[in-house]
Amino acid sequence: MYRSLILLFIFTNLFAVIPTELPDSLSTKDLVFIYVHGFAEYRDIEPFKEKMQEFLSEHPTLNYDVMTYRWEKNRLDFLKPIEQWEASKVNGENKSSHFMDSIIVKLETQKIPYVIVGYSVGTRLVTKALESGKNELKYLRGIYYLASALPKDIKPKINILPEGMKIISYYSKFFDAALKISFRFQEEIAAGGEVGFDDTSTFRNYRTVCTHVHKGGPIQRDYSNMASAIAMLTLFKENIFIEGEPLKYNLDMLVMDREVQWNDVILFDTNYKILIQQNVNTYHYRAVEIAENGLRTRRAWSSDLHMILRGLRLFNEPYGKKVSLSGVED
């Protein structure tokens, strides 16, 4: 038995199709999350994909799926990290045309809504692919960059995004050692995934306290924790409401800026500014109102993001679809 398992593992890794093609199984899905992995991310199931699968399994009535666009599979060689990094950058950029033609164009042709999530070096591949596109992406529902390994001053020439859409970039100024040390040393400039991007016409920057990768220990605070938040934001934009536990009793209270236990998720700037944040330890959410003078006040908190958004009257009613606590669609 063990021999068979070992042979299966070897076969799977030696003969896996790289770069990945679009699976036929996605043709019947209502929406697909496309995860583009980063440098030396060699595991068969990446942490982000695993977390997204967990979320989708908790809501089986959603006809959604997640796939990884595998463009290389290398373990980090600690004796040759610089050479590997340079080779990975080139390899990723070389795969950008395949990503556009074999993934994005096929999704558009089959009229399958999709969300792109690029991580680290994977954002270089995604950016170059989008720059090469010629037709508007009518079925693209969002683009998210996690720990982007692109220079902060990049100004990509992307003309195919749906009107008004920006790339949402989550960055980590103090906790991402890989970008703070290695990227700065190699590229001689800060990464957008460390400090945010200068080009705010293309990017919307949100601060996190994520580490580049999970180093072990009881608290996991790498970017894979953003999977459920991205899923909930996507559902919100599709006007699909996931019913959760009622809002917790809230005592309006001042909170600090730049707290080390909270990831910024999204900012709503309508009649007043409401910042949605996620706690990296408990994963619950809070809504913080930002006054003109900069003071921050907690207005709501809950383990369920959609309950906060409904409580703040940010959801459009009637809903396009509602999934109750029992998992039944209304």
pLDDT tens digits, 108-137: 999 999 999 999 999 999 999 999 999 999
Q: Structural domain boundaries of the chain? A: 2-238, 242-330
Ranges of the chain with pLDDT below 70: 1-17, 40, 42-43, 75-81, 214-220, 324-330
Distance CA 313, CA 103 (A): 36
The C-alpha angle with vertex 218 and arms to 122 and 298, in degrees rounded to 5, equals 80
Residue with tokens 């991580």: 119
Predicted local distance difference test score (pLDDT) of residue 305: 95
Predicted local distance difference test score (pLDDT) of residue 4: 45
Q: Which fold has domain 2-238?
A: Rossmann fold (3.40.50)
The C-alpha angle with vertex 59 and arms to 54 and 60, in degrees rounded to 5, equals 100
Predicted local distance difference test score (pLDDT) of residue 86: 81
Predicted local distance difference test score (pLDDT) of residue 92: 84
Predicted local distance difference test score (pLDDT) of residue 85: 75
Pair of tokens at residue 157: 């020439």
Predicted local distance difference test score (pLDDT) of residue 8: 38
Predicted local distance difference test score (pLDDT) of residue 146: 97
Cβ-contact 281, 217 below 8 angstroms: no
User: For residue 90, which phi and psi values (nearest 5 degrees)?
Assistant: -65, -45
The C-alpha angle with vertex 122 and arms to 116 and 123, in degrees rounded to 5, equals 65
- What is the reported pTM? 0.90
